[in-house]
Structure formats: C-alpha cells, structure tokens
Amino acid sequence: MSQNTLKVHDLNEDAEFDENGVEAFDEKALSEEEPSDNDLAEEELLSQGATQRVLDATQLYLGEIGYSPLLTAEEEVYFARRALRGDVASRRRMIESNLRLVVKIARRYGNRGLALLDLIEEGNLGLIRAVEKFDPERGFRFSTYATWWIRQTIERAIMNQTRTIRLPIHIVKELNVYLRTARELSHKLDHEPSAEEIAEQLDKPVDDVSRMLRLNERITSVDTPLGGDSEKALLDILADEKENGPEDTTQDDDMKQSIVKWLFELNAKQREVLARHRRFVPLRWQRRRDPAPHSLPR
C-alpha cells in the first residue's frame, strides 16, 4: 500500500458496538428498513418449470427452504407469543418461515471472503437469536427485528473469519470510522482518498490514519485457487524474483562458455593464478591441469 493512496475495503457496514462488543439496537433504524411482504417473496428459490439438472449443495438448500410459507402479521404475533412461552413447534415455524430472508440478506455480502452457504449459516444463527429475543408486543414486524440480528452475525463472521489476525472490537469500531470517512471522500473526490485527506477530514494525525488503514490490509494465501474451472493456485503464477528468466539463463551460459574459451588461450601460469587467487576458473577446468606429481624441490 502506498503512502499517498490507500485503497479501503469495508467488510462491515458501519456497524456500531457497545462496550460488550454487541451492536447497539436502534428501533428507529429498524422501522425505517422494514421490508414489505413483496420484498420477502420476490425471490423464487425453486422454479417449477426448471429443467432437470444436477443440484449442488446450495441449490438443494434453496430448494428445500422454498416450500416454507411466509407468515402473516397475525401469525407472527401468534407464533412469537407461543415461542416465548417455550413452545418448540412455534419456534421452529418462526425460523423456517424466515429462512428465505436470511438468503436474501446473505447474498448482499458476497465476494467478501466467505462462501454463500457459510454466510447463510451465520445468518441462520442470527435468525435463531432473533426468534428467542423477539417481543411481538413492541409493534414492529419480525422481519424488521430479524434483519438486524442476521446482519450482525454475518458481519461479525466476516470480520472474524476473513482476517488472519483477529482485531479487538474497539479497534474494529475505530477502523470503521476511518473506512466510512474514506468512502464518503471517495464519492466526493472521485478518487481513492489519501491518508492525508482522511486525516484532514477527521482532524487526526496522518500517522494514526495510516496505521489504522494498514490493519485493513488482507493477507492472501499463495495456495488460494484462482477461481473458475482453473486448478491453478496463486503460487503457480507468481514470479520468483531471485530466479533468472530464460533470456538471462541463456545469456549467462553463453558468457560462461566464452570465458572458458578465453581461459584456454592463456598459458598455464596465468590460468593457475586465476584459479587460485580469483576463484574465477570452473572446477572442471582445474581438473584438466597436468596431473603429474611434483617433486618437493619443484
């Protein structure tokens, strides 16, 4: 990362946390983002007219949850009340009827380091938590309340599982402030903001901004697949800076052959001087010297 231009990649969407590391619940924000019934039903997960094909794990899961009917507002209140009283069947019905909501939210977090099924799994944990905590007497729909919990668990999973080194929550909170400011400046300036521009906007020292943004850098394994149908890993295409290319290797071989040729044009004394004092002559040439033993006087 250069000092002047620092690219930022936001893994967590402006998540706010309290002192215990749990996001602060905002009922007003939830009421504003409440999805309609049409939004929840807009994605048909299994088409009746689909052609026969081999289904992978994701398609199988989407097909299974596609048959769970959505609950009306009255049904949500009814089953939520029973779930709070410990009714297992009502709790299960609440969960199964909202699995499609988890898929819809999980798809928004694609290409952030976790596979779709992993995102769905984390979102389902948030959905289960939402069912356990939902109070139907507070007046808003369950989908609104569940959306917050689903987003929180998915974002937390991305934050923890895609980093080689896990960051403390208070560091993540501070980092999100810098990332949010960087995004705002990026839209305003039409280019990736520099550390100096972010520091000026936040009235922070440039060194502090640079240090925090470096925490957002990613470490990629050289065994990471390149994607698609290719079986190559990143290691297969990385150039070895210490290894000579074919042009350099050919040039070195030609030079060595020329040096050996020139050496044989020297007399024996000159060759021995080079061999002993300059370590310049190949070992195979040194073996070609006269093998006759020398007497002590000689």
| 294 phi and psi angles, rounded to 5 deg | -100, 140
Residues 280-297 have pLDDT tens digits of 555 455 444 444 444 444
Residue 264's Cβ-side half-sphere holds a number of Cα atoms within 13 Å equal to 9
Structure token digits, residue 283: 């070992």
Confidence band of 132 (pLDDT split at 50, 70, 90): very high
Closest by CA position to 35, among listed 146, 137, 143: 143
Q: What is the pLDDT at residue 146?
A: 93
3-state secondary structure of 165: coil
pLDDT category at 25 given cuts 50, 70, 90 is low
Contacts of 168 (CB under 8 A, 6+ apart): none
State the DSSP string of 216-248: T-----TT-B-STT---BHHHH---TTSPPHHH
Cα R_g (the chain), whole angstroms:
33
Q: Tens digit of pLDDT for each residue in 205-244?
A: 999 889 888 877 665 666 666 655 556 776 666 666 676 6
Q: Which tens digits make up the pLDDT trace of 56-96?
A: 777 888 888 877 888 898 999 999 999 999 999 999 999 99
Query: For the whole model, what pTM was predicted?
Result: 0.47
Name the residue type at position 157: A
Residue 92: its H or E element: helix 88-96
CB atoms inside a 10 Å sphere around CB 224: 10
Higher pLDDT residue, 29 or 218? 218
Q: H helices of 15-67, where?
A: 27-32, 37-41, 57-65
Q: How far apart are CA 178 and CA 11, in angstroms?
A: 12
Class of residue 68 by CB neighbours under 10 A (exposed 0-12, middle 13-18, buried 19+): middle
8 A C-beta contact, residue 80 and residue 125: no
Beta carbons within 10 angstroms of residue 179's beta carbon: 22
CB 149 within 8 A of CB 129: yes
The H or E element spanning position 207 is helix 206-214
Task: Please report the pLDDT score of residue 30 as a whole number.
Answer: 52
Looking at the DSSP bridge assignments, the partners of residue 233 are 225
Bridge partner list, 225: 233
